[in-house]
Amino acid sequence: MVSYVVRRLLQFIPVLFLASIAVWAIIYAVPGSPATALVGTDATPEALAAAEERLGLDKPVPLQYLQWVSGAVVGDFGDSAINGAPVLGQLAERIPASLQLALFSLTIGLLLALPLGIVSALKPRSVLTKVINVYQAAALAIPTFWVGILLIIGLAVKRNVFPSVSNFVPLWVDPVGAFRNTFLPALCLGIYISGIIARFVSASLKDSLAQDYVRTARAKGVPEGAVISKHALRNALLPTVTVVGLQIGEFLGGTVVTEVVFSYPGLGRLIYTAVTGRDYPIIQAAVLFIVIAFLLINLIVDVLYALLDPRVRLE
Amino acid sequence: MATDPELIFAIDDLIVEFDTPEGVVRAVDGSGYQVSPGETLAVVGETGSGKSVTVLAALGLLDGGRIVSGTVTFDGQDLLRMPDRRRRRLLGSALTMVFQNPMSALNPVVRIGHQIAEVLRVHDRSLNKAAARRRSIELLERVGVPQAEIRHDQYPHQFSGGMLQRVVIAMAVANDPKVIIADEPTTAVDVTVQAQLLDLLRVAREETGAAVVMITHDLGVVAEVADRVAVMYAGRIVESGPVREIFAEPRHPYTVGLLACLPRLDQDIAELTPIPGAPPDLRHLPDGCAFHPRCTLSRGREQCQEQRPPLLAVAENGEPAVASACHFHDEVAAWAQEGTTADPDENGGQHG
């Protein structure tokens, strides 16, 4: 297991190398140079040249990359093009906020999805299941920003239950404040993923329930509750782990819209402001972080899978 | 019949239907059989004849089907009409099953030993973990799993099919059952392992004194293990009786056909004779005798096409009696004699 994890971590190196080229090349993929974005289109040629020099854009392209990447490996992603503060520091401020939001969202998502998925698998023909199916489709189809705005109007503006602007209050500093501030955006994201996860739980539980070993358990006289929880559900959760892992990965960087709607100071909003301001050093570092996060989560899912399913061997 | 104290397990006139998009399928159409303690009954029939569905329905393990009518009696109690909780107490303890495919019958993510211990602890709440472990290891040893101590903590994918079926048998005998129902227990394993498993089941029966219902399509298995045999066709029992008598003198044309499909060592047969035609579509069962479209004894007689023959005792000399569901059971012997020497074309022309 340990050697497998080490080998997988070593495999990250080529992936990260390729990713870093792609990430760095973002600058050239977008029309207009970062320097133009910085000084404005009306700037004098001298001002433009000065900005280019400051950003290092006057040097040959491979050299620019080498400079950037040699800084990146030691955690130096340069300074923000907009406010001049070190990129790493800004990232380090936002990542815990996004992690906390991801944790809250996932908890809410699972709390909603597991019962819904289980009920619709156990009682596929009931009225409740039809309602759940509608919910699942709606949760997937309705955009999160719309749900977010409705939540803000309903629970923050009309009734002052939650703040309309969600600040980052670390859970370990003030749990109640953290809950109050993170709940609305987390609910918004939780509803969204609960649709996907419930569908997975339902499909794989239905599949497990039709397996021979479930019939064997019933023939052994095992009470129905234990048949479902000990035999069917344990097997059904295996595919669910994969989906949940992918969702976490998406959350770490992909909650841009929700974070903007709730003015939540997470990684997503940092990326949003960086993109609108053409703050390339920030974008590059943030995207690279998301790549690393995805790689790590995939590794964790694989290890978790091996722990849950004895048939899977990590060789 | 069901009140006979001699009988430990009896199914009477069971009808089971399934709703499918193409219509209602009557998979079991008035099937029934009985076993006495210590007796082995083989239920024989083709795939789709309703052998498995009958027992699954009887034990309340059916997925999706509907029991239309019938009674199932176990040890004087009505299995179909008792509360689930009471039936659960019988299942796995006094009334156990061995399933067809050992590879899928065990939970892939639960240790072998835990799966055996589960059947012990579900029926004996006072059994603690350590004692359950000891008993599971004993059971593994009893069914001939080597290195039981190590095997106990392994997972199903680390076992061969034959070894898994031993584990399934261990679970079936764990609580000293009165009836063991084995649903094609040797179909999914290697031929070399089949004999060992049949032997194991025989020993299990002798040790526990349980009645065994052996569902199979393999007449070789029947000859080897069964005292009595019930032949099933299209959801009904068409013939039943002591194995020896049925093999020597079948009283139903379908049984004759089944036996003619079997290669024999004691006779020189140039070709095996298949039964002409195909098993009936269970959505549109023919009127009268379900076998009549394939029956060369019937020769288009109206009685076969219009009246459904009941299963009636035909031989009074033997005990228990042979019963046949054929209008012309007294003609079967003579017809079978000529059938084996008859022109192949007359016999359906399906050689080849």
Give the integer Cα–Cα distance in Å for B310 and B29: 12
Calculate the average pLDDT of chain B: 87
In tens, the pLDDT along B192-202 reads 888 889 999 99
Which residue of chain B is at minimal alpha-carbon distance from A218? B61
Q: In this structure, is residue A267 part of a structural domain?
A: yes
Q: In this structure, is residue A312 part of a structural domain?
A: no
Which tokens go with A68?
């950037």
The answer to whether A213 contacts chain B (CB < 8 Å) is: yes
pLDDT at A57 over 80: no
DSSP state of B217: S
Residue B300 sits in the same domain as residue B190: no
Q: In this structure, is residue A310 part of a structural domain?
A: no
- Whole-model pTM over 0.95: no
Counting the structural domains of chain B, the total is: 2
CATH of the domain at A212: 1.10.3720.10
Q: In this structure, is residue B165 part of a structural domain?
A: yes
Residue B286 sits in the same domain as residue B153: no
Cβ B12 vs Cβ B1: under 8 Å: yes
The parent domain of residue A269 ranges over 87-289
Final residue of a structural domain among B206, B226, B246: B226
Q: In this structure, is residue A232 part of a structural domain?
A: yes
The parent domain of residue B86 ranges over 9-226
Instruction: Indicate yes or no: CB of B91 within 8 angstroms of CB of A220.
Output: yes
Q: For B15-24, B201-210, B294-303, which range has the lowest pLDDT when averaged over its residues?
A: B294-303
The pLDDT confidence band at residue B257, using thresholds 50, 70 and 90, is: confident
Q: Which of A213, A222, A238 sits opposite B122 (nearest CB)?
A: A222
Chain A residues touching B157 at Cβ < 8 A: 310-311
Instruction: Indicate yes or no: CB of A216 within 8 angstroms of CB of B118.
Output: no
The Cα of A210 is separated from the nearest Cα of chain B by a number of Å equal to 8
Residue B136 sits in the same domain as residue B193: yes
Mean pLDDT calculated for residue range B250-263: 86
Helices (H) and strands (E) in chain A, counts: 15, 0
pLDDT at B5 over 70: no
The full length of chain A comes to: 315
Beta strands B40-44 and B228-233: pairing type? parallel
The answer to whether B94 contacts chain A (CB < 8 Å) is: no
DSSP string, A209-255: HTSHHHHHHHHTT--HHHIIIIIIHHHHHHHHHHHHHHHHHHHHHH-
Give the integer Cα–Cα distance in Å for A230 and B234: 37
The answer to whether B150 contacts chain A (CB < 8 Å) is: no
Nearest CA-CA partner of B183 in B58, B68, B20: B58
Residue B95 sits in the same domain as residue B26: yes
Q: B346 CB contacts (<8 Å, ≥6 apart)?
A: B296
Instruction: Indicate yes or no: CB of A212 within 8 angstroms of CB of B105.
Output: yes
The Cα of A232 is separated from the nearest Cα of chain B by a number of Å equal to 9
CATH of the domain at B57: 3.40.50.300
Q: Which of A219, A224, A311 sits opposite B157 (nearest CB)?
A: A311
Which tokens go with A66?
């080498």
Q: In this structure, is residue B349 part of a structural domain?
A: no
> Residue A232 CB: number of other CB atoms within 10 A?
25
Cβ B50 vs Cβ B290: under 8 Å: no
The answer to whether A228 contacts chain B (CB < 8 Å) is: no
Give the integer Cα–Cα distance in Å for B196 and B225: 12
Residue B15 sits in the same domain as residue B79: yes
Q: For A134-143, A294-303, B41-50, B319-328, which range has the lowest pLDDT when averaged over its residues?
A: B319-328
Give the integer Cα–Cα distance in Å for A81 and B141: 74
Which residue of chain B is at minimal alpha-carbon distance from A305? B109
- What are the residues facing A79 on neighbouring strands? A86
The answer to whether B109 contacts chain A (CB < 8 Å) is: yes
Give the integer Cα–Cα distance in Å for A229 and A236: 10
Residue B59 sits in the same domain as residue B18: yes
Residue B277 sits in the same domain as residue B211: no
The Cα of B106 is separated from the nearest Cα of chain A by a number of Å equal to 5
In tens, the pLDDT along A193-251 reads 999 999 999 999 999 999 999 999 999 999 999 999 999 999 998 888 888 888 888 88
Instruction: Indicate yes or no: CB of B109 within 8 angstroms of CB of A210.
Output: no
Residue B136 sits in the same domain as residue B39: yes
Q: In this structure, is residue A104 part of a structural domain?
A: yes
Which of B53, B89, B109 is the best substitution to test chain A (most A C-beta atoms within 10 A)?
A: B109
Residue B145 sits in the same domain as residue B288: no
Give the integer Cα–Cα distance in Å for A243 and A301: 9
| Residue B128 φ then ψ, to 5° | -85, 175
Q: Rounded to whole angstroms, what are the CA distances from B132 to A225, A265, B96, B97, B175?
A: 21, 55, 19, 20, 12
